Amino acid sequence: LNTPVAQVGLELAANAERHLKPPQEMARLFRRHPQALAETLRFADELSFSLSDLEYNYPDEPTESGLGPQAELERLAREGAATRYPAGVPASVLQRIEEELALIERLNYARYFLTVYDIVQFARRQHILCQGRGSAANSIVCFCIGITEVGPDRIDTLFERFISEERNEPPDIDVDFEHERRDEVIAYIYQKYSAKRTALAAAVISYRGRSALREVAKAMGLSEDVRTALSSSIWGWSTSELGEKEASAGGIDRSDPLARQVIEHANEIMGFPRHLSQHVGGFVITRDRLDEVVPIVKTAMDERKMVEWDKDDLDAVKILKVDVLALGMLTCLKRAFTLLTHHYPDARDAYGRPYMLATLPEEDGRVYDMICRADTLGVFQIESRAQMSMLPRLRPREFYDLVIEVAIVRPGPIQGDMVHPYLRRRQGKEQPEYPKPELEQILGKTLGVPLFQEQAMKIAIVAGGFRPGEADELRRAMATFKRTGTIGNYRQRMIDGMVGKGYEKAFAERCFKQIEGFGEYGFPESHAASFALLVYASCWFKTFYPDVFCAAILNAQPMGFYQPAQLVRDARDHGVE
> What are the structural domain ranges in the chain?
69-204+276-327, 411-522
Please give the order of strands across the beta sheet that includes 198-206: 130-133, 172-178, 321-327, 273-285, 198-206, 305-307, 296-298
Distance CA 431, CA 414 (A): 20
**pLDDT exceeds 90 at position 424:** yes
The answer to whether residues 376 and 391 touch, using CB atoms and an 8 Å cutoff, is: yes
The answer to whether residues 116 and 173 touch, using CB atoms and an 8 Å cutoff, is: yes
* Rg of the chain (C-alpha set): 27
Q: What is the pLDDT of residue 1?
A: 62
SS3 string, 431-452, reads CCCCCCHHHHHHHHHHCCCCCE
Alpha helices in 427-524 (DSSP H): 437-443, 453-462, 468-479, 481-484, 491-500, 505-517
Distance CA 81, CA 342 (A): 29
In percent, the amount of the chain with pLDDT more than 90 equals: 34
Q: Are strands 321-327 and 273-285 parallel, antiparallel or unpaired?
A: antiparallel
Q: What mean pLDDT is predicted for residues 87-94?
A: 90
Q: What is the pLDDT of residue 262?
A: 81
**pLDDT exceeds 80 at position 227:** no
**pLDDT exceeds 50 at position 453:** yes
Alpha helices in 140-293 (DSSP H): 140-144, 152-155, 182-193, 209-219, 224-232, 244-249, 257-269
Q: What mean pLDDT is predicted for residues 141-155?
A: 88
User: Which of the given ranges, 64-68, 299-303, 320-324, has the highest pLDDT on average?
Assistant: 320-324
Angle at the Cα of 130 from the Cα atoms of 128 and 134, rounded to 5 degrees? 165
Distance CA 372, CA 213 (A): 46
Average pLDDT of every residue of the chain = 85
Q: What is the pLDDT of residue 12?
A: 72
Alpha helices in 278-384 (DSSP H): 311-316, 328-343, 365-372
Distance CA 528, CA 531 (A): 5
Q: What mean pLDDT is predicted for residues 294-323?
A: 83
Burial status of residue 120 (CB atoms within 10 A of its CB: 0-12, 13-18, 19 or more): buried
Q: What is the pLDDT of residue 484?
A: 52
**pLDDT exceeds 70 at position 247:** no
**pLDDT exceeds 80 at position 55:** no
The answer to whether residues 295 and 301 touch, using CB atoms and an 8 Å cutoff, is: no
**pLDDT exceeds 90 at position 242:** no
Question: 79-109 burial, b for 16+ CB within 10 Å, e for fewer?
Answer: ebbeebeeeebeeebeebbeebbebbeeeeb
How far is the CA of 436 from the CAs of 186, 416, 433, 511, in angstroms?
Answer: 50, 21, 9, 13
In percent, the amount of the chain with pLDDT more than 70 equals: 91
Q: What is the pLDDT of residue 534?
A: 94
Distance CA 381, CA 463 (A): 33
Check residues 487 and 528 and name the one with the higher pLDDT: 528
Q: What is the pLDDT of residue 144?
A: 94
**pLDDT exceeds 90 at position 125:** yes
Q: Please tell me the pTM assigned to this model.
A: 0.81
Q: What is the pLDDT of residue 502?
A: 87
**Secondary element (H or E) of residue 325:** strand 321-327
Q: 3-state DSSP call for residue 463?
A: coil
Dihedral pair phi/psi, residue 554, rounded to 5° = -65, -35
Q: Residue 113's pLDDT band (boundaries 50, 70, 90)?
A: very high
Distance CA 509, CA 498 (A): 9
**Measuring CA to CA, which residue among 503, 500, 501, 476 is closest to residue 490?**
476
Distance CA 236, CA 229 (A): 15
**pLDDT exceeds 50 at position 317:** yes
Q: Residue 237's pLDDT band (boundaries 50, 70, 90)?
A: very low
How far is the CA of 190 from the CAs of 8, 147, 196, 238, 478, in angstroms?
Answer: 47, 20, 9, 38, 33
Burial status of residue 168 (CB atoms within 10 A of its CB: 0-12, 13-18, 19 or more): exposed
Q: Look at 209-218, 226-235, 248-257, 467-476 and tell me which has the smallest mean pLDDT.
A: 248-257
Q: Residues for the chain: how many in total?
A: 577
**Secondary element (H or E) of residue 44:** helix 34-46
Q: 3-state DSSP call for residue 322?
A: strand
Q: What mean pLDDT is predicted for residues 318-324?
A: 86
Q: What is the pLDDT of residue 168?
A: 66
Distance CA 278, CA 534 (A): 27
**pLDDT exceeds 60 at position 239:** no
Q: What mean pLDDT is predicted for residues 406-411?
A: 85
Q: Residue 74's pLDDT band (boundaries 50, 70, 90)?
A: very high
**Measuring CA to CA, which residue among 53, 429, 551 is closest to residue 571?**
551
Cis bond before residue 558 (omega within 30° of 0): yes
Pick 69-204+276-327's CATH classification: 3.90.1330.10, 2.40.50.180, 3.30.1900.20, 3.90.230.10.
3.30.1900.20
Distance CA 67, CA 500 (A): 53
The answer to whether residues 119 and 188 touch, using CB atoms and an 8 Å cutoff, is: yes
Q: Residue 248's pLDDT band (boundaries 50, 70, 90)?
A: low
Task: Concatenate the DSSP letters of all residues of 187-216 into one string.
Answer: HHHHHHH-TTTEEEEEEEEE--HHHHHHHH
The answer to whether residues 484 and 271 touch, using CB atoms and an 8 Å cutoff, is: yes
Q: Look at 13-22, 341-350, 491-500 and tell me which has the smallest mean pLDDT.
A: 13-22
How far is the CA of 269 from the CAs of 90, 253, 477, 520, in angstroms?
Answer: 56, 21, 20, 22
**pLDDT exceeds 90 at position 366:** yes
